Amino acid sequence: MRDAYIVSAVRTPGCRRGKGALAQTRPEDLLIQALNGAVEKIGLDKGEIDDVMIGCAFPEAEQGLNVGRIAVQMAGFPDSVSGATVNRFCASGLESIAQSAMRIMCGWSEVAMAGGIESMSIVPMGGNMPRPHPDWSKKNPDVYVSMGITAENVATRYKITRQMQDDFAYHSQMKAAAAQKNGLFTEILPTKAFKFTEKKDGTYVREEFIQNFDDGVRGDTTIEGLAKLRPAFSALGSVTAGNSSQTTDGAAASVIMSGDACKKYGIKPLAKLVCYVTAGVKADEMGVGPAYAIPKLLKKVGLDVKDIGLFEVNEAFASQAIYCCQQLGLYDNKAEWSSDSDSRRININGGAIALGHPLGCTGSKLAATLIANMQKKGVKYGIESMCIGGGMGAAALFELCQ
């Protein structure tokens, strides 16, 4: 089989649901900027793209009607460029990369795109019309259980204490704040956004502005402040708004090519997608997903944890992220993830606790972040992984192209 190369990967900023900068911007408007940004960065003619896969966790309403195709058209791609929406909840944006890469690898396409979109402000988590199957929700409600409860289950079953979670969350914030200050998020695309404002004369207008940073980062977070927060999902629990991922709006996109295409267009590849796996786990502790997916991935490619230079393990909740790191042997040595450690490998510039988790976008967003970091650090292998609602984990191995 051929290799598939990521030649361009960008993302919009991730901004807070409801009060954040992107809350009043339609998801398609975010996605088209990511798609165009990824293509324009390498100066490729849009007509050369064969197909576009877009991840979305709640592909309905504003994100419905096959947003994967609609956004491609809105972005000014010629009619010949096709598009689809894929959904694997929080891994949707990674699933889309994998599917496009597989098209290249088996020779069915030369150039494809992948991406992800989620406006959690506009389409709520759980969707606008949740309709669990009546019989199944009576018999086995675990399938529909809230993500917060699964995080509580992980915390209680695997003894991840409140202190551990708050500490992990604190470091996520510190890493993100430092990276933001030092301009390390080079994968961010300054993004045109809208807000609806009432003018003095009582008329309403849609105003345009540019957003170029993640607006959920809290550099002033303290351990003490985190300790004061009430549990968010369980009266007696340990999972709080402070040690959970933020609900976020954002979009991301990448361009994937065969080696032949790279040569043809004279484009230098960034990284190669080596392998992608998924693993099923119990629905009521879905957060453990990466603890199964990453070992499965490593076994498949014959590598060891020590061979991997960087990890992006999505911080859906501190409890599950900690558990997964523990299982990989990466938690007890705090130098692997602490903000004061130069040798850290886990979420080196912060994770979703600080930067947000725009569900279906996250897979593509983290890929853009990981590849940017691999390049900066000259790291050969990087792994991206996340847990998935309903009880799954996904993981992908990227190899840097020198």
Comparing CB distances to other proteins, the nearer of 317 and 337 is 317
To the query of whether residue 357 is one of the catalytic residues in this protein, the response is yes
> CB of 197: closest distance to other proteins in angstroms?
19
The HSE-up count of residue 401 (CA atoms within 13 Å, CB side) is: 16
Comparing CB distances to other proteins, the nearer of 234 and 375 is 234
To the query of whether residue 325 is one of the catalytic residues in this protein, the response is no
User: Of these residues, 56, 275, 361, 387, which one is catalytic?
Assistant: 387
Comparing CB distances to other proteins, the nearer of 10 and 151 is 151
Comparing CB distances to other proteins, the nearer of 231 and 295 is 231
Could you tell me how many helices (H) and strands (E) the chain has, helices first?
12, 12
Strands 51-55 and 381-388: unpaired
To the query of whether residue 387 is one of the catalytic residues in this protein, the response is yes
Q: Hey, CA dihedral for 321, 325, 326, 327, is it positive or negative?
A: positive
> CB of 147: closest distance to other proteins in angstroms?
10
Comparing CB distances to other proteins, the nearer of 108 and 136 is 136
The amino acid that residue 74 corresponds to is M
> CB of 241: closest distance to other proteins in angstroms?
14
Place of tokens 């030649």: 7
Q: Give dist(CA 327, CA 321) in Å, integer.
A: 10
For residue 15, the surrounding DSSP H or E stretch is strand 15-16
At 309, list the tokens: 């230079």
Is residue 316 within 8 Å of 387, Cβ to Cβ? Answer: yes
User: Of these residues, 15, 324, 357, 361, which one is catalytic?
Assistant: 357
- The count of residues in the chain is 402
User: Of these residues, 56, 90, 324, 325, which one is catalytic?
Assistant: 90
> CB of 272: closest distance to other proteins in angstroms?
42
Q: Give dist(CA 93, CA 213) in Å, integer.
A: 20
Place of tokens 């040569």: 263
| Interface contacts to other proteins, rule CB under 8 A | 128-138, 141-142, 144-146, 148-149, 152-153, 233-237
> CB of 182: closest distance to other proteins in angstroms?
36
Instruction: Enumerate the active-site residues.
Output: 90, 357, 387
